[in-house]
Structure 1
Amino acid sequence: MSTTRGVARTPEFSTRLTPAEVRTLASLAAGRTTDEARQELGGISVNTFNDNLRRIGQKQLKPPRASRASKVNTAYELKDLPLPESAAPPRDIEAEDRKLWIAVATHPSIQGIARAVSLSTSAASRRIEELMHRHGALSEPHLVRLGYAYGVLPAATETALPAC
């Protein structure tokens, strides 16, 4: 607690992302690896990068080990990140793929994703890798970005699966 003119005050906690935190999420959404993102952010250390991700999760009220994809999705939903330009998907997106895509974006863990699509965690992981490959996603956060570009996720926000 700080005291200002003798009045005890509890420190305020901001839920707004800092510019550095927004740049961190934007870099991940673009499909950058951790090392590529760190270099793009001025060569920050691994600890600083991980601290940024931890603070982002806290501000978004995510569980401690929430996925990067769910953090990127929340940043799009809260308009912390600008939505990508609309684009036509390279192929048709089947109903099963849409359900999995929505689960990747809205669930903070592979266990939650697997439950949402009624698969084991290993089968869900395999299906996510296949989905990423089919649609050219470099990572799960990049898959979320592509989901917004292809129109898979905006429609999903109204009927999103409950987060686990």
Structure 2
Amino acid sequence: MARLLLFNKPFGVLSQFTDRGSPTERATLSDFITMKGVYPAGRLDRDSEGLLLLTDDGRLQARIADPRFKLPKTYFVQVEGDPQEAQLEALRKGVRLKDGMTLPAEASRIDEPALWPRDPPIRVRKSVPDSWLKLTIREGRNRQVRRMTAAVGLPTLRLVRWSIGDWTLAGVMPGQFIELSA
């Protein structure tokens, strides 16, 4: 039976097991997961937090990571500014990025979610408000959510992937994982 790990990747951790070629040693998955034979199904930027799926099943890994299957990925996004309906509508219709139009996203303003504190904390500027969005996308371009929010005038301060398909982070603290049978 295939193994599936739901890992809550902390801020600052690379979504790979080694950090070759870096002059400074950075945290990697091997600092948290010692289980052999599992590999990430997709990526999550070093400065993003949240759900990273790992499996020992190559077909499952490809199905989760491959954009052809359009598995929804939901993010809680803390942005700089006060989102207006026109900005949310732009995200819902798709945003033009340097590498082309994104697919339409589900986008809504939400109250601050009950998350763990980020370490280190985000920068806070008294003169600039911040807000939270819930954003669901069905593709996985490099730094896509950050680029989408920036394109509509809402720079990302904190990005937490909460779910991939039906898998969520509910009950999984940063640096921890749970194992499911896939």
TM bucket (normalised to shorter chain) is: 0.3 to 0.5
For CA contacts below 8 A with separation 6 or more, give which structure has more relative contact order. 2
For normalisation by structure 2, the TM-score amounts to: 0.30
For normalisation by structure 1, the TM-score amounts to: 0.32
Structure with greater proportional helix content: 1
